Amino acid sequence: MNPFRISSFFVLLYNLTKIFFMQRSFVKSAMNSGLIMGVIFSVNFLLSVSRITALMLITYVIAIFIVITMYRMAVRFRDTECEGSITYGRAFLYILSTFFYAALISTVVKYIYFQFINPSYLETMFQESMKLMEKLKLPMTSVSADQMESMLKPVNYSFIYIWMNIIFGGLVGLIMAGFIKKEKSIFDEKGEIEN
């Protein structure tokens, strides 16, 4: 058998194994970061529904903290899991995945809050929305009122938050991935070729 084919097979096997373990570390890292971000999202949500002005103002500080924390997590992922280099697309996907896992965790907290801790919150929000519509003299049919009431059910409203967090993560990712990306040095590539 040709020795070149044998060595090519082992190189291919090595590269496939490396890709497999990189994917596992990608998901694991995104889930771990998502857990941390999910806790921060949940705290931010609980402060925002408190109706205490000082606590509601803290939510803006936490929003900035979320962006800074995500940046640090993405840099750590790049430097530890990706050996110091990462493409724009992979950085974007990592940030989006982290926000997705965080959204899932915080949605559970939101559902528990709306369903068990403060079940009247969404009903009050619906009543306030209806009063505002009347005050602004906007046309409101029974169908649109029913749709609004349906959206303000605990499950539906919690799922709306998932999409809001993912869209926010996508926007953050589009910008932040440009700062996170780091190409391999030509000297690193040369060293791999020689080995």
Q: Please, what are the averages of pLDDT over each run of 10 residues along the chain (195 residues)?
A: 55 55 78 95 93 89 96 95 90 94 93 92 86 80 78 86 91 96 71 46
pLDDT of residue 7: 60
pLDDT of residue 6: 55
In the chain, the N- to C-terminal Cα span, in Å, equals: 23
Closest alpha carbon to 70 in 42, 41, 43, 108:
41
Match 């940046």 to its residue by tokens: 71
The tokens for 7 are 């060595």
Rounded CA separation 88/105 (Å) = 26
Whole-angstrom CA distances from 159 to 37, 95, 136, 146 are 17, 20, 28, 18
What is the length of the chain?
Answer: 195
pLDDT of residue 76: 95
User: Could you tell me the pTM of the whole model?
Assistant: 0.79
pLDDT of residue 83: 85
